[in-house]
A and B are shown apart, each in its own frame.
Chain A
Amino acid sequence: MPQPLVGSFPYDKVKGTAVPKPTRTASEQGYVSEITKGIAVTMTHFFKNTRAMVRGERPDPVVDPMSEGITTLEYPDQKRPYPERFRGVHRLTHRDDGSPRCVACLCCSTACPAQCIYIEAGEYGGKDKRHGYERYPVKFVIDELRCIFCGYCVEACPCDAIRMDTGVHPVPYDSRDQFIYGKNMLLAMASQAGKQKHENPRAEPPDADYGPIERLAGHH
């Protein structure tokens, strides 16, 4: 008489008893019928999957990742789209005139727990409309290999100048120095939607809605 292994056995009353041997029916013991069943299972999978492969009908691994059948994602050819807020490698946003939005305030490099941002600040030239108003980064370097992709730099930035919305994860380069992204590289990156500009408008000296420079006036 086959008995279920778990449940019927009074574990709470009996202690130190031998585990009951599983009972097997004659057909299980005979092995041949069990082998046939097993091979039937694998053959079913084989024929279904081969058919789907031959006819190009396998489920789309991106849309239907949990379907039956082969849902392997063939990575470099097929990619699972990243969520919108995925933190990829950084980019520096552009102003409307194409210059970097960054004002070299060093907030991001201060906030960075991995200390992988290096910024050298510089003054705009005397004739520039932003002269005396804000600075710009002469060098802006991020070591993407040290970066832990925490996103604190983005949070810290007061000007929406640094973003991690590129949707790109660092490519496996073959040497370390290739992971060190300079200012031009960071400026060249675009967001997942292909934008290079900032997302939040901000009034600047020549703009109509820009108020008087009180701070400067106060200093003088």
Chain B
Amino acid sequence: MTLSSIIWTVVKILIVVGFIVNLSAILTWMERRQSAMMQDRVGPNRAEITVFGYKIRLFGLLYPIADAVKMFTKEDFIPPNADKVLHSLAPMLSLFPPLVVLGVVPFTDTLCLDNLHEVVQKNGVVASNWHFFSSWIEQPSCSLPGAKNFIDGCCVIGCQTAGVVHQPWAEHFGTCPANVAPGMIGAIHMQVIDFNPGVLYVFALAGMGIVGASIAGWSSDNKFSLMGGLRAASQLVSYEVAMGLSIVGAIMVYGTIRLDEMTRWQGDHVWGVFVQPLAFILFLTAAIAETKRAPFDLPEGESEIVAGYLVEYSGMKFGMFYMGEFIEIATSSALLVAIFLGGYNMPFLHRDGITIAVGDAVVWKQHIPHILVILMQAGAFFGKIFVLCWFQMFVRWTLPRFRYDQLMKLGWRMLLPAALANIFLTGVILIAFDRTGTEFQERMGVVGDFVNLATAIAITFVQLWIVIGFFGSTQPAIRRNAFNKRARSAGEIVEKALAS
């Protein structure tokens, strides 16, 4: 391990943890404001600080800060008969796994450092080129014999860069050219841990979530806590099975359990949700169940067992459970994004820029500098996570809690058989697909391109719809319902009677 790789690992950890922790803080705000918007309320918006005489409210975004202050300064109470060690250990056990799960999820495509400031040899002229933007503005043309176009500073037939022949990116997907300048690392994989278990690591750690909740329930010396812990244990075990099996179909299609390769497959073909729609729904359901939030919040079940395993927790220990819950939302969203929603990929955004192509017909092509591609991919990844978190909030604030037997029935008698059926179906289809000729497979590739096109159009449309809908200039009339109208007309009658 070289020093630079250690530094890069630290940077990547900071990015992931910084994103996830801040997102969880924003999610606490989002949960309150979003539920308020859904229920025709205003929601919390009064937290206020005074800076140089200006009162700043920030739409209630200061509540997470106020919460943090409150939790850190509150008394940390441990019941007298509780197991003190385990009681303190449980919050850590429930906060830790969701924080580290994201280690294997790639948040952008492989970053090629050399590519950021490479020496381009063009027509025999060597030009040192920090081409962040320069190649965007002024795309150099290739006049080498046989060269067609210019990708990432290299002509398609390969170009000479300080003596090393670079291959075009299309053929070296995910890898970088050999080191050019001494002491540089060529490729930086944008995930913290670069190792093979991938999805298995995710499930191993997700399984630890049970341990935190059930230890908390057991060590608190409270029967409500114990019941909550028991419920948490059985619920999480049940849904872990369905979760694990639902993903097997996806693994069969992608042919890998590494999350970065899964993401890359989706970039090459289509998003996983289109090839594994059933698995997506099953995984989403199981992931929501794993976060222990409504409609699966039986371990907490305020109306039945007070707050379940959280009863005896106060101060920052409670805060850790609370944070862990929100981090889990973010984590499960990230996994869903990486496995089913294309990860950092956006339709038609490739390593060398945007290429809108259906089959062999290239509709539009625009070269984009490497660093911008990386930034756009990171934006896509984090943006998708945010949208999924937002969606999970909707589920949480729309659906009522299950009864316990319904929960178990759903887990074992619906999700599990459906996941098994999905595996079987996927296998059959995969074998059938392999038996078909290349012509059919090529045609399916074109279908995939059309799906990508539809996805791109849909995303653009939704964004436009939101922008126009929110900031367009139509003036909606105040909607008055019948009651209001009656109330108003009654008031007018009284006023007229008084005036006469």
Contacts and interface: CB of A to CB of B under 8 A. Distances in A.
Nearest to A34: B399
Given A32-B281, A45-B37, A45-B39, A66 B397 contact: no
A41 B40 CA distance: 12
Nearest to B45: A74
Contacts of A50: 37, 470
Interface stretch (A51-59, A165-173, A174-182): A51-59
A57 B478 CA distance: 8
Interface in A21-45: 32, 35, 38-39, 41-43, 45
10 contacts: A32-B281, A35-B398, A42-B394, A45-B40, A51-B470, A57-B476, A64-B480, A66-B481, A68-B481, A70-B42
A69 B40 contact: yes
A93 B484 CA distance: 39
Contacts of B7: none
B435 interface: no
A45 B42 CA distance: 12
Nearest to B483: A66
Contacts of A43: 38, 394
A184 interface: no
Contact of B480 (A39, A45, A54, A66): A66
Interface of B: 34, 37-42, 281, 394-395, 397-399, 469-471, 476, 478-481, 483-484, 487
Nearest to B414: A31
Contacts of B281: 32
Interface of A: 32, 35, 38-39, 41-43, 45-47, 49-55, 57, 59, 64-72, 74
Contact of B470 (A41, A46, A54, A72): A54
A52 B398 CA distance: 21
A4 to B, nearest CB: 23
Contact of B478 (A45, A51, A67): A67
Interface centre among B37, B281, B398 (most CB of A within 10 A): B37
Contacts of A42: 38, 394, 397-398
Contacts of A65: 484
Given A53-B37, A65-B484, 14 more contacts: A35-B399, A43-B38, A51-B470, A53-B42, A55-B471, A59-B478, A64-B484, A67-B479, A68-B40, A68-B479, A68-B481, A70-B37, A70-B40, A72-B41
Contacts of B471: 54-55
A55 B42 CA distance: 14
Contacts of B476: 52, 57
Interface centre among B41, B483, B484 (most CB of A within 10 A): B484
Contacts of A47: 469
A49 B40 contact: yes
Contacts of B41: 70, 72
Contacts of A38: 398-399
A46 B398 CA distance: 11
A39 B37 contact: no
B484 to A, nearest CB: 4
A72 B40 CA distance: 8
A51 B472 CA distance: 10
Contacts of A70: 37, 40-42
Contacts of B469: 47, 51
Nearest to B480: A67
B258 to A, nearest CB: 31
Contacts of B399: 35, 38
B42 A46 contact: no
A121 to B, nearest CB: 41
A39 B284 CA distance: 15
B38 A45 contact: yes
